[in-house]
Every structure is written in structure tokens, then in C-alpha cells.
Amino acid sequence: MVSDTSLGADRQRGSAYAELSRQVRAAGLLERRRGHYSLRIGLVVGSFLGLWGLFFQLGESWWQLAVAAALAVVFAQAGFVGHDAGHRQIARTRRGNDLIGILHGNLLTGLSYGWWVEKHNRHHAHPNTEGKDPDITVAPLSFTPGQARSRRGLGALVARHQAYLFFPLLLLEGLHLHVNSVRAVFFGRRRIPRRPAEAGLLALHLSGYLAAVFLVLSPAQAVAFIAVNQGLLGLYLGCSFAPNHKGMPILDPDDNVDYLRRQVLTSRNVRGGFFVDALLGGLNHQIEHHLFPSMPCPNLRRARPLVRRFCAEHDIDYHETTLGSSWAEALRHLDDVGSGEPRTDVAMR
């Protein structure tokens, strides 16, 4: 039976988020940023078209590997735009956001927007929660001691050395995302809105990409182009998303932590100026993003001082570090889990 004291504490915690929401709304931080996204989308689409134009102009040349590397960056940036559309940050209507998301995800990047949104929404509802967050159930890595203990054979060997294998494994993440997208759109049973449109655009991207690469380049150059392009895409995306939650406290499925603390305590911010914001698609302000997923990306930096001050006033740990330190913390967590050493999580307050 829950005591009156516990009920009072829960109400107080719930009202704390409501108060923070009022402050954020009063500051105008949830208002759309049409100019920002018009410029950003224009740069992504312009770079995409320009690099493919350069690709066809260069023809059969090993200089195409530089184009492959540059395209990996553009693909990732298009993915960041799709992420913001999935959170309804860009357009005022759901249909408008979905159109932007599908074009940037399926057509430009070759990743299923609908599949990713469904998975990402589950992550936002239960960040770093064992058994509920799909982002901490990613074989062959182990993010909890229980996952590491369950590995057998080669899986156990990978778990023991996963901190050293993390970045090399990210080189396969681009291929992994493409495979999962195709599987979800063409063979999956989960509901994907606008499945025919997603299937058509995904097929157009994949067939056009492969046709261009193998018709213009020699077989060796084509294989090298794909390896560099998809390897760097996976590495870039992995290095952008790993700082957000890896190495932060992991919750048990039955943890009854209120929304405000669940989002703040399981997320990590990465300090930096305009360059870091652009490099990571604004997701370096992960705490603010998890508290207010529909807040336009350029407003996250403006919300940071307000949220940080609010957390200090309510005795809630607000974790922020540099990009290099965030990777180090993630790798230290993977090493601790893989070696079976006990973890000492941040107190849940």
C-alpha cells in the first residue's frame, strides 16, 4: 500500500516537470524555426546533389573515395533532419513532418523513416531501461551485466573485449541499418504508415545507389566506394549517438522513476559551440531533447541554462561533459560490463 507521504512526493515530482514546461513554453522555446530548417534542408539537399554531380563528373577514379567520405557526412546530416521530423520539430502538421522525414530517410539516406520512428519512440519512452529500450539491446554488444553473462562462445569473447571492438563494429552500423530498414519495410509485421511510399523510395535509393556505383566505377573501386561510404556513415552515426546515453545509469524494468528524473538522469549532454552542434545534429543537448522531444533543435542550446538551473534547484544530477570524455565514459562502461566488474551508477536523484 502506498503511503500518503509517497503520494505527496510523487505529486511534487510531477508538478516539478509541469513547472519546467511552463517556463520553457513562456520562453518561446517550443516555437517552430522555419528559417533554420529551410537553410539546413537546403544545405543537405544541395550537398547531396552536388556530390553526386561530382561523382559522375569524376568517373572511374580512385578520387571517388573522397566523394564517398563526403557523402557519408551528408547521409548522416540527412538522417539528423529525419530525426527532427520524426519528433515533429520542423513542420506544424504531422503530414508535413512525415513527408520531410520520408524524403530524407528513405530517399536520400536509404533508411526507413517509419521503422526508425517506431523504434526511437520506444527509446524515448523508456531510455536506458532494461528490457524496454531497444537501443540497449543491440547484439553483439552487452550493455548490462545480465546481457554479458548470457553470451556464449564467440559472443562471450566479444563481450569481454567489446570496449576495444566498439569503434570497429560501428563500421558495420550503416549496413546494419540498411538491412533492418529493408527487412522492416518489405518483410516486417509491425505497422509502418505509408508503407508503399516508403518501399518505393527505399527501393529507388538502393537501386539508384548501386547502379551508379557499379556502372561508373570499376568493380574494385565500386566495392571500395561502398565500404568507405557505408563504413564512415555507421561510424559517424554511432559516434554521434553513443555519447547520449551509453555509460549513464540503466534502470530496471520496474523502476518507478518519474518522467523528469528518468529523462535527465539517463542522458548526457556534450559541451561545445556551433561546430559540435552542427557535427552532432544538435543532439549533444540530449537532456533538453529528452525532456522536450518536439522542441526544435536550434532551441535546445537556449533551453540548456534554464533546464540546468532548474535541475540544480531540485537537486537532480545534470551530467555534461566534453565529446572526448563522453566517448571515454561509454567505453569504460562497456569495459566494466564485459569484464564483469561491478558498476557504480550515479545516484538516482
170-224 pLDDT, tens digit each:
999 999 999 999 999 999 888 898 999 999 999 999 999 999 999 999 999 999 9
**pLDDT bracket for residue 349 (50, 70, 90):** low
Looking at per-residue pLDDT, the higher value among 158 and 138 belongs to 158
**Whose CA is closest to 48, among 167, 180, 212, 174?**
212
pLDDT tens string 91-138: 999 999 999 999 999 999 999 999 999 999 999 999 999 999 999 988
Assess whether pLDDT exceeds 60 at residue 153: yes
Contacts (Cβ under 8 Å, ≥6 apart) of 270 = 243, 276, 280, 284, 286, 320, 321, 322, 323, 326
Dihedral sign of CA atoms 5, 347, 271, 119 in order:
negative
pLDDT at site 14: 56
Distance of CA 124 to the CA centre of its chain: 11
pLDDT at site 253: 87
pLDDT at site 345: 46
What is the average pLDDT value for the chain, to the nearest integer?
92
* Dihedral, 120, 126, 128, 131 alpha carbons, nearest 10: -100
pLDDT at site 315: 94
**pLDDT bracket for residue 256 (50, 70, 90):** confident
Quote the pTM value. Answer: 0.91
pLDDT tens string 57-74: 999 999 999 999 999 999
Assess whether pLDDT exceeds 70 at residue 3: no
Using a pLDDT cut of 90, give the percent of the chain over it: 84
**pLDDT bracket for residue 340 (50, 70, 90):** confident
